[in-house]
């Protein structure tokens, strides 16, 4: 049997087993009825063929409709709560950046340690993956963790998991992405926390995505207007991430990853209330990795005022 490397994996399996049992039960009940009725009412059988007693007919209808409606709503609620719990990003999680490209997975630990087709994570610690694609649509799929997320170019996708079992688990690309799609695979290596720390210390430390974003912030010219001492009237970025902001057209949006990314690439679309649409378009001058680094940097400005 496929290993369950997280509590979430176990909960997905319980739901799947319940759905399978439910489906088999319905399938047997319906085919059993078909078989029984076609024998009982076969041509020439002595079964009574009069009208169904009226009261009984309606009661059966009401009870049957109520039971199936309840069962349907229960299954819907069960699946929805499981899915929503998987969508919620836990606080204090380890942030790992994953870049997909034809045909490999490049990962970057919070301290900048980089790997290709491998991802080391500590056990029992919530992990949040920020996923980007450099070219086409890929799909990050780890069956043992029951997680799968399409990685779409031009977007930052998130995925969270907490592994509760150490070991090496297969990572696949689950979206056909070109000639070597089938070779675009790697491993998620779950380690005990102290072993993970030792592993991390043994690796050459690279630049973190935040460092890259911070350097780009000046190099690409963002700091010219968005730095706190700037004379140009541009929105303050410190403490922006995750906040609700009012736009010039009256809409309220949350400054999440997608919003920050769009603001860099499509600066004329969502103008913050009280500001002029003067920001230049960076969609030609920054590549996807650079946008992710800038977004990571702005996210890191968090709300440390
Ligand atoms: Cu990447 Cu398939």
Q: For residue 226, give both structure tokens.
A: 């968005």
Q: How does pLDDT run across 176-200, given as a tens digit for each residue?
A: 999 999 999 999 999 999 999 999 8
Question: What's the 177 CA to ligand 1 centre distance in angstroms?
Answer: 4
CA distance 263 to 63: 54
Per-residue model confidence as pLDDT tens digits over 49-76 = 777 666 667 788 899 899 989 999 999 9
C-alpha–C-alpha distance, residues 58 and 71, integer Å: 20
Distance 222 CA to ligand 1 centre (A): 33
Atom of ligand 1 nearest to the CA of 181: 2
Nearest atom, ligand 1, residue 178 CA? 2
Atom index in ligand 1 nearest the CA of residue 175 equals: 2
Q: How many residues does the chain have?
A: 305
Q: How far is the CA of 119 from the centre of ligand 1 (A)?
A: 17
CB-defined site of ligand 1, < 6 Å: 103, 138, 173, 175-177, 181, 184
Dist CA 182 CA 155 (whole Å): 23
* 286 CA to centre of ligand 1 in angstroms: 23
- Supply the pLDDT for residue 28: 97
Its pTM stands at 0.73
**CA 152 to centroid of ligand 1, rounded, Å:** 11
Distance of CA 150 from the midpoint of ligand 1 (Å): 10
Those residues of the chain that have pLDDT short of 50 are 304-305
Question: What pLDDT is attached to residue 196?
Answer: 93
Give the ligand 1 atom nearest the CA of 184: 1
Q: Which atom of ligand 1 is nearest to the CA of 182?
A: 2
Cα Dmax for the chain: 96
Ligand 1 centroid–CA 106 distance in Å is 13
Ligand 1 mean position to 148 CA, how many Å? 12
> So what's the pLDDT on residue 1?
65
- The C-alpha atoms of residue 31 and residue 36 are separated, in whole angstroms, by 9
- Helix ranges (DSSP H) in 132-219: 193-202, 209-219
The pair of three-digit structure tokens given for residue 217, joined into one six-digit string: 């912030």
Confidence at residue 305, expressed as pLDDT on a 0 to 100 scale: 39
| Positive or negative: CA dihedral 59, 61, 63, 64 | positive
Q: Relative to the CA of 102, which ligand 1 atom is closest?
A: 1
CB 124 within 8 A of CB 164: yes
Is-contact 117 187, C-beta < 8 A? yes
The protein residue with its alpha carbon nearest to ligand 1, atom 1, reads 138
């Amino acid at each position: 049997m496929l290993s369950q490397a997280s509590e979430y994996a176990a909960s997905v399996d319980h739901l799947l087993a319940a759905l399978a049992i439910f489906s088999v039960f319905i399938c047997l009940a319906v085919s059993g009825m078909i078989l029984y009725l076609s024998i009982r009412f076969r041509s020439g059988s002595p079964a009574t063929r009069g009208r169904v007693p009226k009261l009984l007919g309606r009661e059966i209808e009401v009870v049957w409709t109520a039971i199936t409606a309840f069962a349907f709503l229960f299954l819907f609620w069960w699946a929805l709560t499981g899915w929503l719990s998987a969508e919620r990003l836990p606080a204090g999680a380890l942030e790992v950046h994953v870049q997909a490209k034809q045909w490999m997975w490049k990962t970057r630990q919070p301290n900048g340690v980089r790997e290709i087709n491998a991802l080391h994570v500590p056990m029992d610690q919530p992990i949040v993956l920020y996923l980007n694609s450099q070219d086409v649509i890929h799909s990050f799929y780890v069956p043992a963790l029951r997680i799968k997320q399409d990685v779409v170019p031009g977007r930052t996708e998130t995925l969270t998991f907490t592994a509760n079992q150490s070991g090496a688990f297969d990572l696949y690309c689950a979206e056909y992405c070109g000639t070597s799609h089938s070779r675009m695979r790697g491993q998620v290596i779950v380690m005990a926390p102290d072993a993970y720390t030792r592993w991390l210390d043994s690796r050459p430390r690279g630049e973190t995505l935040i460092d890259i974003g911070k350097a780009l912030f000046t190099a690409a010219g963002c700091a010219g207007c968005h730095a706190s001492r700037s004379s140009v009237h541009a929105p303050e970025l410190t403490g922006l991430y995750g906040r609700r902001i009012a736009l010039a057209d009256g809409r309220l949006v949350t400054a999440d990853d997608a919003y920050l990314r769009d603001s860099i690439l499509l600066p004329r679309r969502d103008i913050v209330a009280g500001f002029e649409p003067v920001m230049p378009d960076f969609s030609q001058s920054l590549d996807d990795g650079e946008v992710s680094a800038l977004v990571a940097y702005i996210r890191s400005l968090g709300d440390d005022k």
